[in-house]
Amino acid sequence: MKFPRLFGKQLSPRAELKQIYERLSNDIDGSSSLQYAVVDAYLSLRSQGNRDGWMNWSDWYEECIDLLVAHVPSGAAHDVDRVREDLEAIREAGQTGADEGRMGYEELDRVAPDVVRWWHKNRKLVQLPEGADSWLDTLENRTG
């Protein structure tokens, strides 16, 4: 996979996701979009894992995993099962606070290009449906 270049330097998936996040944050409709929610979910998980080794895991991070599981595997991944397994491994690391030595960093690294691919395939902003307070509400409506 080729990544965009910035000043002649190729961007890593994580750097590209940060750039996408900033672009969506500055777009008037961007921060309420599904694209923003997916990118924010990934970056939030990455930050939590790196910052304190999952010690502050909460329902918010569970929601991040749920959102990524619902959209990224079938929306961009070459290997849907691998992406789902990686996301569940990240969830497991978060839930256990990495007490068992599984930090989920390799899985986070593998999922980053999948999120980038998902974004490139889904650039047309999808806005939060009327009546939904968050993208999690849309997931509950799918299953409930």
For the chain, report the end-to-end CA distance as a whole number of angstroms. 37
pLDDT at 75: 63
Each of the 144 residues of the chain gets a pLDDT tens digit; together they read 445 554 555 679 889 999 999 999 998 888 889 999 999 999 999 999 888 888 889 999 999 999 999 999 876 557 899 999 999 999 999 998 767 777 889 999 999 999 999 999 999 999 988 888 888 777 765 544
Torsion angle, CA of 98/58/68/38, rounded to 10 degrees? -120
Q: What is the number of residues in the chain?
A: 144
Is the pTM value of this prediction over 0.75?
A: yes
